[in-house]
Amino acid sequence: MNKRFIVGIALFFSIKNLAAIKKVELEIGRAPPVVVAVIDSGVDISHPDLRDNIWTNIGEAGLDSLGNDKSSNGVDDDDNGFVDDIHGWNFVDNSNRVDDSQGHGTHIAAIIKNEFKRKTVSFASSTLPQTVRLMILKYYDPKAPQQDNIAFSTRAIHYANKMGVQIINYSGGGYEKSATEFKAIQESQRRGILFIAAAGNSQANTDIRRYYPASYGLSNIISVAATTETGELGSFSNYGSQSVDIAAPGNEIRSALPNKKFGVMSGTSQATAFVSGAAAKILASKDYILKPQQTLAELLKSCQPMRNLAGKTKNQLALLN
């Protein structure tokens, strides 16, 4: 059975409102954070490498009229349908506990954050202080049936859409497509949200054997393959000259793990996280809103041509670590 899984384990704002918020932030001399939704196995939000970059829902922060902490008062203070969703949501057990029992999500989140903060980039950057905030959306249950994980995933995408993120990082997938998931990502597209997804770890040609959600074919989706330290396609990585947009490092990547630990994982999951971090940096460098296709164009400008990727990705381009 083709089960939906996360890859690499041994791996209520409109665009108009976002633009208005960014304009106000710029006028007072502060660049707003770029918000990246990490749809994964959860994240250790207390990890020293991540705790300063975790997204906070301002509608659930502070004190309520009774002096109670809104993050734990049992009330849906921002009326978004989720009670005490201070840092995101756990769609597996329908709670605000976004902890990571597997390590995959924590590993991915730290790659995004550290790639964002890395200084060696070829595109222009703003002189204003910027940061990235990671919205934690836990969807993956290794014991759940395929359809349950897709349902959790779809709900997570809807949440990210509703809460006004700029980027969705989806370091997972499978060979079964879903009409409801497709519609959720279509809504992301309508809202101008970039959806960065793993191409998969099955050594498959996704021009022929589609891998979802990376293969839905929407203009806001960036499908990511993995490269080795020498710029070659990873031995595990899916590929496709018509279906994969870009490649990035995905072999033996060191990053954060729960409980203040660090460790190495490989996969297109990790490659996807590098691209999300780079895309977030591009968005932070602009004082105007970029459409997903414009962000992809900027990303490609920052990449290097790699002969080893001929016939493996659309542009034979790789984001180098």
Boundaries of domain holding 127:
5-318
For 170-191, what is the mean pLDDT?
97
Q: What is the pLDDT of residue 5?
A: 61
Q: Are 10 and 107 in contact (CB under 8 A)?
A: no
**Considering only 7-16, 39-48, 191-200, which range has the smallest mean pLDDT?**
7-16
**Considering only 188-202, 216-230, 265-279, 285-299, which range has the smallest mean pLDDT?**
285-299
List the Cα angle 152/75/184 in 5-degree steps: 25
Q: What is the pLDDT of residue 12?
A: 36
Q: Which of 109, 102, 103, 86 is nearest to 37 (CA)?
A: 109
Q: What is the pLDDT of residue 4?
A: 62
Report the C-alpha gap between 111 and 108 in whole angstroms.
5
Cβ neighbors of 87 (< 8 A, separation 6 or more) are 45, 54, 55, 56, 57, 96, 98, 135, 136
Mean pLDDT over each residue of the chain, to the nearest integer: 89
Query: Maximum distance among all alpha carbons in the chain?
Result: 63
Q: What is the pLDDT of residue 127?
A: 44
Q: What is the CATH number of the domain that holds 69?
A: 3.40.50.200
Pairing of strands 172-173, 221-227: unpaired
Pairing of strands 172-173, 5-6: antiparallel
Report the C-alpha gap between 274 and 111 in whole angstroms.
6
182 torsion bin: left (phi>0), alpha (psi -120 to 50), beta (else): alpha
Residue 120: pLDDT above 50? no
- What is the pTM for the complete model shown? 0.89
For 124-135, what is the mean pLDDT?
68
The total of structural domains in the chain comes to: 1
pLDDT tens column, 89-109: 999 999 999 999 899 999 999
